[in-house]
Structure 1
């Protein structure tokens, strides 16, 4: 974006920048824009939509042209996006819409397919947890774990985590006096404890595993038949992909990404496109043993297993 464009946008109100961003999105990713697109998305009148399109044309006149036959604006060959669009947000919008629809009605913008989630929390369980996170409150709930069976717990929820196959909440467990991960589908009757004060030891600032950021350097798997394809898939022209993860989530993420973490890159299969050459990067991560093939380089014995909650 040129400096002039940046200055022009900075002087506009936030709500108008949002409308111009939507115009930019429609042109860039769908190749067409109608005045009704702005009217329907922002519930503004036709005159307001016309003003927004005129404002966009004033800032980026080379980006769009009107097809007089269809009254549709289309991007020109010289189009360059006026806004920076996050890939994840774009893909979410294209596959699920911009919040259009009510309840379970999803309205994708283009034909697409994405896997159904096999494990999702009940809204009656999720809502008290998110209220507690937002307000800094504790929760009382029943919880069934593999290790302890069904117990009654008090936890202080800190953050939601998506590990690809399920969602869980990072929380301080008053029963064990530790920060742990609690799976939503194993919870029963969570209730916000309005009159239970939170001590500083129960806050996210004291969760060392959550606060610690680990930088991982991943490379194409040495046994992959086409390492150049791996470099293309992961946009790693220099052959190294650097990612940062929280220590509390490192094992989950490496498993989700199917990264071979064995010291001798011994895992086989095209699903193992990446290898972690330095297992010491996971030093101190509480769930490192969840990473595929990981062996603690400081121990000659078997890995310490992570107790499932």
Structure 2
């Protein structure tokens, strides 16, 4: 990660050019709160240092990575881009994060998907299912999702004729397909539908423990209401540690229950 102000700005230029396939002054204005003139100077300064990296597209009004693009300020690793995308705050305070196995997402997999997301194309992928069988799929991605500790891409699956989530780490290969007619992301009904999930302490817990949970989650009248996209409801339930298939014999094992399961059942699996 860049350490000084100039390197930080050059880092973002390379990050956007490498992963998203374009960068312009508007990105720098927003990210660093610069005027248009200041942002133009930053891009100009970068091009002086790396004259062969960017080509200007008058059609897109943006700089694109050249055929001989060579990164100097970024690592080129997928996690670098995904962490920036996630917007993890970095504080001067000491922060500990739970270590978990890193699911490998290779740059040559992520870049075509980001390109397709940016320009509205389809992607031809080789995808490994949970049964470890590999299938060729053509998908039309519209969003990246970090859920349940994994990065997914939300996409229209041409084979299944439905919107599905694909785990990036299970993708074996990916190539952009500019020839396909793809549906508008607005047609993803589950993505554009918002639902309320209502959680409450398991009533089998002692009253003191229920009160502690109400305070912990900032509940009102013993209820925690979270509004989320219907397409992501299952991930949220998993994140809350709630099992909707069966009630654990020990209430301490789950602590919370989903109160309104029947109301949102059509979105659950």
TM-score of the alignment, normalized to the shorter chain, above 0.5: yes
TM-fit CA distance, 1:254: 0.2
Q: Aligned pair in 2 of structure 1 residues 117, 266: CA closer, same or farther (>3 Å)?
A: closer
Q: Aligned pair in 2 of structure 1 residues 92, 211: CA closer, same or farther (>3 Å)?
A: same
The aligned residue for residue 76 of structure 2 is none
Unpaired runs of 5+ residues, structure 1, are 1-13, 20-87, 95-108, 290-309
CA contact (8 A) 2:248 2:254 kept: no
The aligned residue for residue 151 of structure 2 is 167
The aligned residue for residue 275 of structure 1 is 257
Rounded to whole Å, the distance in 2 between the matches of 1:281 and 1:267 is 24
Off by >4 Å, runs of 4+ in structure 1: none
Query: Is 1:252–2:249 an aligned residue pair?
Result: no
What secondary structure is seen at the aligned counterpart in 1 of 2:266?
A: coil
TM-score between the two structures when normalised by the length of structure 2: 0.61
TM-fit CA distance, 1:269: 4.4
CA contact (8 A) 1:157 1:172 kept: yes
Q: Aligned pair in 2 of structure 1 residues 120, 253: CA closer, same or farther (>3 Å)?
A: farther
TM-fit CA distance, 1:270: 2.9
CA contact (8 A) 2:199 2:256 kept: yes
TM-fit CA distance, 1:259: 2.2
User: Which of 74, 77, 92 pairs up with 2:89?
Assistant: 92
TM-fit CA distance, 1:128: 1.6
What secondary structure is seen at the aligned counterpart in 2 of 1:141?
A: strand
Rounded to whole Å, the distance in 2 between the matches of 1:157 and 1:246 is 17
The aligned residue for residue 116 of structure 1 is 99
Report matched runs for 1:59-74 at 5 Å: none
CA contact (8 A) 1:215 1:281 kept: no
The aligned residue for residue 146 of structure 1 is 130
Report matched runs for 1:1-309 at 5 Å: 92-94=89-91, 109-118=92-101, 119-146=103-130, 149-198=133-182, 202-225=183-206, 226-261=209-244, 266=248, 268-285=250-267, 288-289=268-269
CA contact (8 A) 2:127 2:173 kept: no
The aligned residue for residue 24 of structure 1 is none
Larger RCO of the pair (alpha carbons < 8 Å, separation 6+):
2
Rounded to whole Å, the distance in 1 between the matches of 2:187 and 2:226 is 24
Unpaired runs of 5+ residues, structure 2, are 1-28, 35-85
Q: Aligned pair in 2 of structure 1 residues 269, 220: CA closer, same or farther (>3 Å)?
A: closer
Summarize deviations over 1:107-135 as a string: whole Å, max 9, x none.
xx222210234224223222221221121
CA contact (8 A) 2:242 2:254 kept: yes
What secondary structure is seen at the aligned counterpart in 1 of 2:169?
A: helix
CA contact (8 A) 1:214 1:281 kept: no
TM-fit CA distance, 1:280: 0.9
CA contact (8 A) 1:120 1:167 kept: no
The aligned residue for residue 6 of structure 1 is none
Summarize deviations over 1:121-158 as a string: whole Å, max 9, x none.
22322222122112111001111113582121111011
Q: Aligned pair in 2 of structure 1 residues 243, 120: CA closer, same or farther (>3 Å)?
A: farther
Rounded to whole Å, the distance in 2 between the matches of 1:164 and 1:213 is 19
